[in-house]
A and B are shown apart, each in its own frame.
Chain A
Amino acid sequence: MPEGYLPLFLFLIVAMIFPVVALGFAKLLRPSLPSGAKLEAYECGIKAASNARGRYTVRFYIVAILFVIFDVETIFLFPWAVRNQALGWFGVAEIAVFLLILIVGYVWAYRKGAFEWV
């Protein structure tokens, strides 16, 4: 078995050496003239408005978590929708149970004020 991995191993070594050699040579050959213009967004990029490490409200976490939950819900709905004909009422029942659990979670989050902004 190990001999089958030999090309992979060689590839790994080459992959590790290549960036070191390429970047090393570039560093030796190129002139070094740093300027403010070079740090700005290139051509079509958006101009930076402020520091990326600013502070923002912790409520974004709750919004993000809720988004993920309902996003995943949709992901589960798609395969069921595609196979709806084959699964029949069994599929409807299963997805109803799944949705019911999520709706309970939604009601809970709503009553707990997770959707109220400040």
Chain B
Amino acid sequence: MPANLFPAPVEIFRFLPEIILALGGTLIMVLEALTGDRQPKNALGHVSLAALFAALVAAVAVHGSPGPAFSSMLLVDGFATFFRVVVIAVGILTVFSSYRYLSREGANTGEYYALVLFSVAGQGVMVTANELIMIFIGLEISSIATYVMAGLLRDDARANESALKYFLLGSFATAFLLYGIAFLYGATGTTNLTAIRETVLRADGPSPLLLGLAAALMLVGFGFKISSAPFQMWAPDVYQGAPTPVTAFMSAGPKAAAFAIFLRVFVTIFEPIGDRWEPIIWVFALASMTIGNFAALTQSNVKRMLAYSSIAHAGYVLVALCARSDIGTAAAMFYLAAYALMNVGAFAVVAYICGKGEKYVGIDDLAGLGSRRPAVAAALTIFLCSLIGVPLTGGFFGKFYIFKAALESKLIWLTVLGLLNSAVAAYYYLRMLVVMYMREPGEATENLEPLPAGLRTALFTSAAGVLLLGIFPSRILEFAVQSAKLFGR
């Protein structure tokens, strides 16, 4: 019996990206502890980059041998690979945009980079998990690391507020999720998603009432994690108070991973009771879009505005979930990839502008960026156009596929209301563009330092990614459609 317990080499190989990330994080902590303050500048950050790139290569390589691992607790499929690449890419961009910010704030510590790696490892576990307990553990690994990252600047009252709110509400939401998992286990007698699906599809399966209760509780948990209305209250405060690179990270990586498990759980096991949750998701989607966009209209702080915009974007992805079709799942995947890139990029620009102590985070502080730093302004223009959904950017095709999927599923009203929402959203994104190009430089843009190399890499990589998704979307979309078709079967 112990011999069977030991996993086959191929199973360990399928878990390789997460192993690399966890070992890398541990290595950074040991290195920092052993060398004290004597390591060369940014060395630990470079170690974390090396680990992330190795994990990225591993994630792509692992795609060559798909299948379950560790008694089917993990499942490597196209869906898992897609999201693994997205969360690791978010980690890489975050590290690139953190160097300058952290040294400016005097917090350039190894722990930060180790926490990024641990969080990404947790997200990797989430997106590959095929088992409710693994989903929960992955979510906790990712969340706890992110809570600490939010409170990284210990002397900053806003960062403390952000970390505490994020921690309390996040834990509260996780409790809901766990309660839902408990009910699901009670109803089906297993925590494996494939086995649960088989039980649910049987004629003498669990009672719809118990399944519905489990789905409702898990919906609350996921709703918090993806900051969808009516569980969005924490997002603006947390995003505003956290250090900007951390905000970039948590608005993209953990959110994409939370959406991944949301999709996996609801599309695989709650599909048979889809008629009952579809109206709820319908309301959630509309409420998220409307509340996010209308609240963003009145914001004067860029980070807060982007926080509301991220609530609205969660609403768009929920439209795709509401469609309950393969093409809807694929559209959600595509949108999340585009969203992660454009959001990290936009926050990276804020991390560049904001100055020591995040003095300049108002929309007015962008004034004159177009004449002072044309390249940065051009990159921000690309991100904002993508967030609006202008053609030739990833955001356009993301929205296009989502609303196409919604129309194919006869969600006509939701499509109409979603498109109207996009028009509202255009106003506040365009206002940033106007301030950036048509106003005289202010205090913030007059004294900008030269663009640091790390930030430059982050900005131009994400801008290139957004354009790539917008000009050649077909290969990524094809991959997403193929993964969605195989999903949960």
Q: What residues make up the interface of A, taking CB atoms closer than 8 Å to B?
A: 86-88, 90-91, 101, 104, 107-108, 110-112
| Cβ contact within 8 Å between B6 and A104 | no
One of B25-33, B126-134, B144-152, B161-169 at the interface: B25-33
Cβ of B26: which chain A residues have Cβ within 8 Å of it? Answer: 101, 104
- A104 to B34 alpha-carbon distance, docked (Å): 11
- A88 to B5 alpha-carbon distance, docked (Å): 12
Determine how close the nearest CB of chain B comes to the CB of A74; give it in whole angstroms: 22
Closest to A87 in B: B2
Q: Which residues of chain B from 1 to 55 have any CB-CB distance to chain A below 8 Å in the complex?
A: 2-3, 5-6, 26, 29-30, 33-34, 36
| Cβ contact within 8 Å between B30 and A107 | yes
Closest to A91 in B: B2
| Cβ contact within 8 Å between B2 and A108 | no
Cβ of A101: which chain B residues have Cβ within 8 Å of it? Answer: 26
| Cβ contact within 8 Å between B33 and A90 | no
| Cβ contact within 8 Å between B2 and A86 | yes
Given known contacts A90-B5, A108-B29, what 13 new A-B pairs fall within 8 Å (CB)? A87-B2, A88-B2, A90-B2, A91-B2, A101-B26, A104-B26, A104-B30, A107-B30, A108-B33, A110-B33, A111-B33, A111-B36, A112-B33
The 10 closest A-B pairs by CB, nearest first: A111-B33, A90-B2, A108-B33, A108-B29, A87-B2, A104-B26, A90-B6, A104-B30, A112-B33, A107-B33
- A56 to B362 alpha-carbon distance, docked (Å): 42
Cβ of A91: which chain B residues have Cβ within 8 Å of it? Answer: 2
Chain A contact surface mostly:
helix
Cβ of A110: which chain B residues have Cβ within 8 Å of it? Answer: 33
Q: Given contacts A101-B26, A104-B29, are A111 and B34 in contact (CB under 8 A)?
A: yes
A108 is contacted by which of B5, B30, B36 (Cβ under 8 Å)? B30
B3 is contacted by which of A90, A104, A107, A108 (Cβ under 8 Å)? A90
- A110 to B30 alpha-carbon distance, docked (Å): 11
- A33 to B26 alpha-carbon distance, docked (Å): 64
Cβ of A112: which chain B residues have Cβ within 8 Å of it? Answer: 33
Cβ of B36: which chain A residues have Cβ within 8 Å of it? Answer: 111
- A62 to B68 alpha-carbon distance, docked (Å): 40
Cβ of A111: which chain B residues have Cβ within 8 Å of it? Answer: 33-34, 36
Determine how close the nearest CB of chain A comes to the CB of B32; give it in whole angstroms: 8
17 A-B residue contacts at CB 8 Å?
Answer: A86-B2, A87-B2, A88-B2, A90-B2, A90-B6, A91-B2, A101-B26, A104-B30, A107-B30, A107-B34, A108-B29, A108-B30, A110-B33, A111-B33, A111-B34, A111-B36, A112-B33
- A86 to B26 alpha-carbon distance, docked (Å): 31
- A112 to B6 alpha-carbon distance, docked (Å): 35
Determine how close the nearest CB of chain A comes to the CB of B111; give it in whole angstroms: 9
Determine how close the nearest CB of chain A comes to the CB of B18; give it in whole angstroms: 14
Cβ of B2: which chain A residues have Cβ within 8 Å of it? Answer: 86-88, 90-91
Determine how close the nearest CB of chain A comes to the CB of B56; give it in whole angstroms: 24
Cβ of B29: which chain A residues have Cβ within 8 Å of it? Answer: 104, 108
- A88 to B3 alpha-carbon distance, docked (Å): 10
- A108 to B3 alpha-carbon distance, docked (Å): 34
Cβ of B6: which chain A residues have Cβ within 8 Å of it? Answer: 90
Closest to B35 in A: A111
Cβ of B3: which chain A residues have Cβ within 8 Å of it? Answer: 90
Cβ of A108: which chain B residues have Cβ within 8 Å of it? Answer: 29-30, 33
- A111 to B34 alpha-carbon distance, docked (Å): 7
Residue from A86, A87, A108 with most neighbouring chain B CB atoms (10 Å): A108
Cβ of A104: which chain B residues have Cβ within 8 Å of it? Answer: 26, 29-30
Cβ of B33: which chain A residues have Cβ within 8 Å of it? Answer: 107-108, 110-112
- A112 to B35 alpha-carbon distance, docked (Å): 11
Closest to B5 in A: A90
Determine how close the nearest CB of chain B comes to the CB of A78; give it in whole angstroms: 18
Closest to A100 in B: B26
Residue from B2, B3, B34 with most neighbouring chain A CB atoms (10 Å): B2
- A87 to B1 alpha-carbon distance, docked (Å): 9
Determine how close the nearest CB of chain B comes to the CB of A101; give it in whole angstroms: 7
- A86 to B2 alpha-carbon distance, docked (Å): 8
Cβ of A88: which chain B residues have Cβ within 8 Å of it? Answer: 2
Determine how close the nearest CB of chain A comes to the CB of B21; give it in whole angstroms: 15
- A111 to B35 alpha-carbon distance, docked (Å): 9
- A107 to B2 alpha-carbon distance, docked (Å): 31
- A110 to B34 alpha-carbon distance, docked (Å): 10
Closest to A89 in B: B2
- A25 to B87 alpha-carbon distance, docked (Å): 65
Determine how close the nearest CB of chain A comes to the CB of B304; give it in whole angstroms: 33
Cβ of A86: which chain B residues have Cβ within 8 Å of it? Answer: 2
